Chain A
Amino acid sequence: MNPKPSILLVDDESAITDNLAPFLGRSGFSVTVASNGEEALEKLATQPPDLLVLDVLMPRLDGREVLRRLRQAGDWTPLILLTQVGEAGERAMALEEGADDYLNKPFDPHELVARIRAVLRRARPGRPPLSAAARLACGSLILDRTSRRVRLDEVELELTPKSVLLLEYMMTHPDELVSRERLLDVVWGWDYPVGTRAVDTRVAELRRALADDPAKPCYIETIPGQGYRFVGTVEARP
């Protein structure tokens, strides 16, 4: 068992890898760097890392294409995408294509370390992550990610697209403390100073629809002053 998780960092901008690699190294990871998609695929074949941090916009072979090829070949190496476009559709696509998580540039490097740790903790070697599943189930709650429909006890719930996006993120990251800022970024692609209230409103809407008691939650638990956590057990359904 290797005590230091290995990370392959892929970005064509050397200013980013030059600064990020030593930072990740000091945070307790052993880091290898690749500067484009092709090089990344080569390094993946020769020395498979525990986790891949992949920039989306790269010359030759972009991050999305690398991700697609890996997943098509049945390679489920945990992967975090670094996106620059905050478009909600783009983010949803990143998750659908089997990225474990994503982060918008410019980001706080500490946030990247937190994401890496969370993904590594959740990863089950060789098996697809929850974020690659077409349907997610938690007891009688079923989220169909392709049709964007949510059913509870066989009854379809009326939810706004943003609430579905929020629930989707919580369910693909179960048992993980997710900050309000992070959720805002997930649903909106950007945060604003007081926007964390908007997250509370959405969570309240979800809880009402799910008939979830905040004092004794089956699904979403409030961590006072920090954020939310999905407490149910989530499994992937075909």
Chain B
Amino acid sequence: MKTWRWVIALAPALLGSGLALYFFLSFDLRNDHIVYLRADLGTLSLLFGLGLSGLAALVFVLLAWAERTRKRIAESAAEERRRFLRRLDHELKNPLTAIRAGLANLADSPSREAHQEALASVEAQALRLSRLSADLRKLAELEVRLVEHSPVDVPALLREAFGMAQEQAGADERRLNLSIPQAPWPLPNVQGDPDLLVLAIHNLLENALKYSRPGDTLELRAFEDGTDIVIEVADTGPGIPVEEQPHVWEELYRGEAGRGVPGSGLGLALVRAIAERHHGGVSLRSRLGQGTVFTLRLPVG
């Protein structure tokens, strides 16, 4: 905490003024309470020198510590970048390989049917790349664009996202529940961009639909917690292994279970970016074999 350093710097001054106030209030200043300090020039120089050296040493220690923190942050940023590039490379490889194979088929094209098939496949892969590019742009833009700040009716938001989820593939094979508290008072508004917030909740629900199995139960619920509104998407799906949990919000991350599931791998990263642009946050709890709760926290405004 950077702000705490000021308190450390101020501590001697505060201590001094406190003591001064105490002495001033508790003694009538008679002569015997006045302390005269006597020191020969040698001792005085020694103490002064020692004090300065101590101070300088402290400054150097603090600087070295700051430098080390900076290096660690730079290293983790570099590592994150390498990881992102590796994943991007991976996401590009498959559609590109498919496109090249499709083009080779088109060139030989033994029959009209094979021709059509190859064309359709190449087009599908090109679309997949377009979607990836669009999602990457969304993420990049989200970090810089101005976010609309209007009062957002949370129950309406939840109902809208829930309505969309009910129309999605696989929704009819799962139990979908929506719970919005009415008592003792309805949920307060949050400040933000309704379109972005719907997108965030939609992504969470879509994710839960994709990774749960037919027969599972999905719940969308919200409640007030202090100065926050907490929106949760819970499922009775297979759960996320502990070692994968910290990574699921990262761009293009795919866990073991995510291989072969369609999507750009940017859905949850978008949710996190949207939450952060609203001064909120995201988290998750999961148990293998039991299910997962994704949490979106937004400050009441």
Q: Which residues of A contact B (CB under 8 A)?
A: 86-88, 106, 160-162, 188-192, 194-195, 197-198, 201
- B176 to chain A: closest CB distance in Å? 15
B100 interfacial by beta-carbon distance below 8 Å? no
B148 interfacial by beta-carbon distance below 8 Å? yes
Distance, CA A125 to CA B138, complexed state (A) = 37
Distance, CA A84 to CA B145, complexed state (A) = 16
Mostly helix, strand, loop or mixed at chain A's interface?
loop
Q: Is the CB of A194 within 8 A of B164?
A: yes
Q: Is the CB of A190 within 8 A of B138?
A: yes
Q: Given the complex, which residues of A lie within 8 Å of B167, measured CB to CB?
A: 194
Interface string of B126-159 (1 = CB under 8 A from A): 0001100110011001001100101000000000
- B52 to chain A: closest CB distance in Å? 54
Taking residues whose C-beta sits less than 8 angstroms from the other chain, chain B's interface range is 10 to 19
Q: Is the CB of A160 within 8 A of B148?
A: yes
Q: Is the CB of B199 within 8 A of A195?
A: yes
Q: Given the complex, which residues of B lie within 8 Å of A192, measured CB to CB?
A: 138, 199, 202
B198 interfacial by beta-carbon distance below 8 Å? yes
- A107 to chain B: closest CB distance in Å? 9
B80 interfacial by beta-carbon distance below 8 Å? no
- A102 to chain B: closest CB distance in Å? 15
Mostly helix, strand, loop or mixed at chain B's interface?
helix
Closest to A199 in B: B195
With known contacts A86-B141, A190-B138, A195-B195, A162–B148 Cβ distance under 8 A: yes
Q: List 20 A-B contacts (CB under 8 A).
A: A86-B137, A86-B141, A87-B145, A106-B129, A106-B130, A106-B133, A160-B148, A162-B148, A162-B195, A188-B195, A189-B141, A190-B134, A190-B137, A190-B138, A192-B138, A194-B167, A194-B202, A195-B199, A197-B160, A201-B194
Q: Is the CB of B134 within 8 A of A88?
A: no
- B194 to chain A: closest CB distance in Å? 8
With beta carbons under 8 angstroms apart, the residue of A88, A106, A160, A195 that contacts B145 is: A88
5 extra A-B contacts, CB within 8 A, seeds A189-B137, A194-B167: A86-B137, A87-B141, A162-B195, A197-B160, A198-B198
Q: Given the complex, which residues of A lie within 8 Å of B160, measured CB to CB?
A: 197, 201
Distance, CA A192 to CA B130, complexed state (A) = 12
Q: Is the CB of A161 within 8 A of B148?
A: yes
- A18 to chain B: closest CB distance in Å? 15
Q: Given the complex, which residues of A lie within 8 Å of B130, measured CB to CB?
A: 106
Closest to A202 in B: B195
Closest to A161 in B: B148
Closest to A192 in B: B199
- A187 to chain B: closest CB distance in Å? 8
- B226 to chain A: closest CB distance in Å? 29
- A135 to chain B: closest CB distance in Å? 24
Closest to B195 in A: A198
- B79 to chain A: closest CB distance in Å? 28
Q: Given the complex, which residues of A lie within 8 Å of B145, measured CB to CB?
A: 87-88
- B156 to chain A: closest CB distance in Å? 10
Distance, CA A60 to CA B133, complexed state (A) = 26
Distance, CA A161 to CA B164, complexed state (A) = 25
Distance, CA A190 to CA B164, complexed state (A) = 19
Closest to A86 in B: B137
Closest to A185 in B: B134
- B140 to chain A: closest CB distance in Å? 9
Distance, CA A189 to CA B139, complexed state (A) = 12
- A15 to chain B: closest CB distance in Å? 13
Q: Given the complex, which residues of A lie within 8 Å of B129, measured CB to CB?
A: 106
Shortest Cβ-Cβ A-B pairs, 8 listed: A198-B195, A194-B164, A106-B130, A190-B134, A190-B138, A86-B137, A160-B150, A192-B199
Q: Is the CB of B134 within 8 A of A191?
A: yes
Distance, CA A197 to CA B129, complexed state (A) = 24
Q: Given the complex, which residues of B lie within 8 Å of A188, measured CB to CB?
A: 195
Q: Given the complex, which residues of A lie within 8 Å of B148, measured CB to CB?
A: 160-162
- A195 to chain B: closest CB distance in Å? 7
Q: Given the complex, which residues of A lie within 8 Å of B137, measured CB to CB?
A: 86, 189-190
Distance, CA A195 to CA B150, complexed state (A) = 19
Q: Is the CB of A197 within 8 A of B164?
A: yes
Distance, CA A118 to CA B194, complexed state (A) = 31
Q: Given the complex, which residues of A lie within 8 Å of B202, measured CB to CB?
A: 192, 194
Q: Given the complex, which residues of B lie within 8 Å of A86, measured CB to CB?
A: 137, 141
Q: Which of B167-191 contact A (CB under 8 A)?
A: 167
Closest to A88 in B: B145
Distance, CA A195 to CA B134, complexed state (A) = 14
Closest to B270 in A: A192
Q: Given the complex, which residues of B lie within 8 Å of A197, measured CB to CB?
A: 160, 164, 198
